[in-house]
Amino acid sequence: LSPEHITEIYDSFHIEDDRTGLSSETLQRAIADNLYYIQGKFPEIATLYDYYMAVAYTVRDRLLHRWINTVKTYREQDVKVVCYLSAEYLPGPHLENNLVNLGIYDQVQQAVESSGLDLRSILAQEEEPGLGNGGLGRLAACYMDSLATLEIPAIGYGIRYEYGIFDQEIREGWQVEITDKWLRLGNPWEIPRPENAVEVKFGGYTEPYTDDQGDYRVRWIPHQVVNGIPYDTPISGYRVNTTSTMRLWKAEAPESFDFQAFNVGDYYGAVDAKIISENLTKVLYPNDEPIQGKQLRLEQQYFFVSCSLQNLLKIHLLRGDPIETFHEKFVIQLNDTHPAIGVAELMRLLVDEYLLHWQKAWDITQQAFAYTNHTLLPEALETWPLNLFGSLLPRHLEIIYEINQRFLDQVRLKYLGNPDKLARLSLIEEGGSKRIRMAHLACVGSHAINGVAALHTELLKEGVLKDFYDLWPHKFTNITNGVTPRRWMVLINPRLTQLITREIGETWITQLEDFKRLESLAEDPAFRQEWRRVKRAVKQDLADYIQAHQGLTLNPDSIFDIQAKRIHEYKRQHLNVLHIITLYNRIKHNPRLAVPPRTFIFGGKAAPGYQMAKLIIKLITSVGEVVNHDPDICDLIKVVFLPDFNVTNSQRIYPAADLSEQISTAGKEASGTGNMKFSMNGALTIGTLDGANIEIREAVEADNFFLFGHTSEDIVDLKAQGYVPKTFYNTNPALKEAIDLIASGYFSHGNRALFQPLVDQLLQADPYCLLADYQSYIDCQDQVGQAFQDQDTWTKTAILNVARIGRFSSDRAIREYCREIWWVNPVSIHLEEYQQAKA
């Protein structure tokens, strides 16, 4: 070999860095390296989980490279950052999402296969972070995905719960809750940052003093101090370098042992302090809609909010910016009222710790915060008993009094002699025992207030927040929710993704409005046939899964009629059950009746303390027991309850649906986001005029949506007239027969007592108006059955649903937040060569 020849050979190949390279060879080498040096394993003894960890670390290295460049750029360019404060996040498994976003799914698959392994089974090893209950937490995760993809500087702050939402098992038809030990085997996605720990104070008392300038000041002497340790998880954007941070706080005792207590012999007392502190972030409250009065819950809220705000102020000052410009560099979104205490905490930090004057601090606070409301249910509006609040946060109580006094002074000037108005607007609820109204604190302390769907925002303005709307109409906006097409289409439905991309290209992945191009294809019979083939294959996948896990054989040509969401009376899973029983009765009466075969699939968790919701699960499984095994039914109806509905399991469900059940009582569901995921994957919706259903129906057009039920106005009128559910029961034989069958013990081995509470609730109160909507629902379901017979028209309608769902991307929602509330701009991230960065 001549020297020239050797140089030529060297130039012809380029060895990639093992931590950043993206070729399958490099990835394979990196995975083997991580297996060896991180897991401490060699192939002969490595478990699938070890391989999962090795692959996860390999992908994380690629993310870190982008993440570091992102953080660096934001520091250097002094950009404005969105801070999303949310007590809940449901990001779902990270690995596959990162493969999709980085565009290395195929390379990693190849790398893994070359080692004789299968990527799907490696992906299945991941334990998802169940750090939320439902829609609110999942929305936060979709928004983090869109923020990164749109290259908007953002940090998502939250709580690192040691135990997330419980795992659900079904035993003898009942829900059983199992502790979610998601951290048991380690979490490769998080990086602890103990050096950035902050202190959070609780309890104690306050005392006034005069500062050097002669100004009146207050200091807070706490009873207890807890440390907050940040754990950072990188959040990738789709095919961009931007990688944002989800920073979750864990509570720890400041010292592992309180040595002073230890020295005087109080060993257990010293350990107790540690236990008390660490209990703070132990477990997520498993209620979908907020609960009242639990001290630990207020402690969790204050803890993560205080950690986050202290962290933001520190970042701001580290960038060399004066405290007075804080609101120009950060905008803080309150995801519901859970972090609303932030308003008082930022005031405390600015006034007590950074010694600003009240008015200056208030201007900064109001301009920094914005508030999203997620529910109208009156029982869900968070309020805290004054005593509890004052003993835990004595200084914040004083600050809230001061905010309230200044606010009510303003109100008094506007509404002369209107004490009712004042009482309604006040941050303090009087009467009986006084309470702090967190929604009011959020409204007063924010420059923008938004609802999550058009109807919801209108109802906010007319109802719960009417007085605030009258006062500050300019603060109110609607931002209809959206979901990320990366996870909810590309990741969960590769078959449909491929078909669509083949026809219209892949721009839709970041510009979902481009789905519009599918409209003309709805007219193409050959395309419709392919679409049907895909749908059938995806339904078969779910059927296989259910066969394997529950031993139930499903007919993939039946209508897959699915309701998957938290179990709640307002969401009306039991209305769905009344339809099942009605169909059952019809077939029993007329065994030769030609009904299209249907598979009813349910998924969802009930709050552990919500007895009625748990009874609804038992009703679904009990009806399934009877119906699935009744020979007269000839397999025309099947009822399946899929246990443990979470992000992972939901991913099998949305793509397989023909029919999406969105049947809440009108006016109760703020938005819903499952409705969007189903539609995006080509299901038709049967729904009420509630939440985002209304806008989905407008978008897909009325002919392509199965509408039933009373409107929210009807429901109000119905109740005002004195709603008597019994009237519907007495005058509707099919309804009566269905309810009587439940009451008779037919589905409970003759036990009439079992479902009595549910039957009584329906006949005596029926707060969610199931009986009033029953006939309309049944008629609509009959139309669904009819329509499904004509498969070709059904498919056309499904394609049109997808073609017109573009508006419900979280990218659109985030763009609206940026434009109307946050006033932030994208910042592109360029990668420095790794070697260069190291030097």
Structural contact between residues 32 and 204, judged by C-beta atoms closer than 8 angstroms: no
Active-site annotation, residues: 374, 565-566, 571, 673, 677
**Segment interacting with ligand GLG (CB under 6 A) among 50-58, 128-136, 620-628, 777-785:** 128-136
Please say which residue, 135 or 667, places its beta carbon nearer to ligand GLG.
135
Local structure of 156: helix, strand or coil? strand
The verdict on 452 binding ligand GLG (CB under 6 A) reads yes
What the block records as the tokens of 493 is 């439905």
Q: Which is nearer to ligand GLG, 136 or 200 (CB)?
A: 136
Q: Is 237 in the site for ligand GLG (CB under 6 A)?
A: no
Interaction of residue 688 with ligand GLG, rule CB under 6 A: no
- Sign of the Cα torsion 182, 184, 189, 191 reads positive
State the pairing for strand pair 476-478/224-236: unpaired
* Number of other residues whose CB lies within 10 A of the CB of residue 64: 17
Residue from 153, 672, 725, 806 in contact with ligand GLG (CB under 6 A): 672
Q: Which residues have CB under 8 Å from 759's CB, separation 6+?
A: 739, 742, 743
Nearer to ligand GLG, 338 or 528 (CB): 338
The stretches of 78-118 forming alpha helices (DSSP H) are: 94-102, 105-114
What Cα–Cα distance (Å) separates residue 38 from each residue in 33, 55, 85, 677?
Answer: 8, 11, 33, 37
Joined tokens for residue 355: 């010694």
What would the x/- binding string for ligand GLG be over residues 390 to 429, using CB under 6 A?
----------------------------------------
- The candidate with the shortest Cα–Cα distance to 653, out of 667, 643, 668, 663, is 643
Residue 520 carries which DSSP code? G
Question: How far apart are alpha carbons 794 and 804 in whole angstroms?
Answer: 15
Q: Quick one: which segment of 132-140, 160-168, 202-210, 525-533 binds ligand GLG (CB under 6 A)?
A: 132-140
Quote the CA–CA distance of 825 and 827 in Å, as a whole number.
7
Q: Is 669 in the site for ligand GLG (CB under 6 A)?
A: yes
Residues in the interface with ligand GLG (CB under 6 A) total 16
Other CB atoms within a 10 A radius of the CB of residue 10 amount to 10
Q: How far is the CB of 669 from ligand GLG (least distance, A)?
A: 5
Residue 815 Cβ vs ligand GLG, minimum distance, rounded to whole Å: 17
Q: Least Å distance between CB 356 and ligand GLG?
A: 34
Pick from 226, 400, 427, 670 the residue near ligand GLG by CB under 6 A. Answer: 670
Q: Residue 574 and residue 568: Cα distance in Å, rounded?
A: 9
Looking up tokens 């073609």 gives 803
- Helix locations, 551-608, DSSP H: 573-589
Interface mask toward ligand GLG for 492-531; x: CB under 6 A: ----------------------------------------
Give residue number: closest CB to ligand GLG. 135
Question: CA–CA separation, 734 vs 328, rounded Å?
Answer: 62
The DSSP bridge partners found for residue 642 are 603
User: CB under 6 A: which stretch of 121-129, 133-141, 216-224, 741-749 binds ligand GLG?
Assistant: 133-141
Distance from first CA to last CA of the chain, Å, rounded? 34
Contact call for residues 398 and 344 (beta carbons, < 8 A): no
Q: Does 288 bind ligand GLG (CB under 6 A)?
A: yes
Centroid of chain to Cα 806: 20
139 scored as a contact of ligand GLG (CB under 6 A): yes
Cβ of residue 94: shortest distance to ligand GLG, in angstroms?
Answer: 21
Contacts (Cβ under 8 Å, ≥6 apart) of 195: none
Question: Nearest 5°: phi and psi at 519?
Answer: -55, -50
> Rounded to an integer, what distance in angstroms lies between the CA atom of residue 802 and that of residue 515?
7
Smallest separation (angstroms) from ligand GLG to the CB of 653: 17
677: contact with ligand GLG by CB under 6 A: no
DSSP 17: P
Q: In this structure, are residues 729 and 736 in contact, taking their beta carbons and an 8 Å threshold?
A: yes
Nearer to ligand GLG, 365 or 383 (CB): 383
Q: Does residue 375 belong to the site contacting ligand GLG (CB under 6 A)? A: yes
> Which of 131-139, 165-173, 197-205, 619-627 is the region at the interface with ligand GLG (rule: CB under 6 A)?
131-139
Q: Is 455 helix (H, G, I), strand (E, B) or coil?
A: helix
Amino acid identity at 61: D
Q: How far is the CB of 288 from ligand GLG (least distance, A)?
A: 5
Task: For residue 673, state whether it binds ligand GLG (rule: CB under 6 A).
Answer: yes
Q: How far is the CB of 575 from ligand GLG (least distance, A)?
A: 17
Put residue 207 in one of left, alpha, beta given phi > 0 → left and psi -120 to 50 → alpha. beta
CB of 480 to ligand GLG, least distance (A): 10
Query: Does position 667 bind ligand GLG by CB under 6 A?
Result: no
Of 563 and 748, CB closest to ligand GLG? 563
Nearest distance from residue 691's CB to ligand GLG, in Å?
Answer: 6
**Choices 105-113, 129-137, 485-493, 616-624 (CB under 6 A): range interacting with ligand GLG:** 129-137
Which listed residue (691, 709, 725, 806) binds ligand GLG by CB under 6 A?
691
Dist. CA 654–CA 496, nearest whole Å: 12
Q: Does 374 bind ligand GLG (CB under 6 A)?
A: yes
Q: Which is nearer to ligand GLG, 134 or 667 (CB)?
A: 134
Amino acid at 728: F
Of 201-209, 388-396, 541-549, 668-676, the window that binds ligand GLG (rule: CB under 6 A) is 668-676
| Stretch of 130-138, 155-163, 539-547, 605-613 lying at the interface with ligand GLG (CB under 6 A) | 130-138
Residue 671 makes contact with ligand GLG by CB under 6 A? yes
At its nearest, how many Å lie between ligand GLG and the CB of residue 781? Answer: 23
Least distance between ligand GLG and beta carbon 295 (Å): 22
- Angle CA(314)–CA(317)–CA(321) in degrees, nearest 5? 150
Q: Which residues bind ligand GLG (CB under 6 A)?
A: 134-136, 139, 288-289, 374-375, 452, 481, 669-673, 691
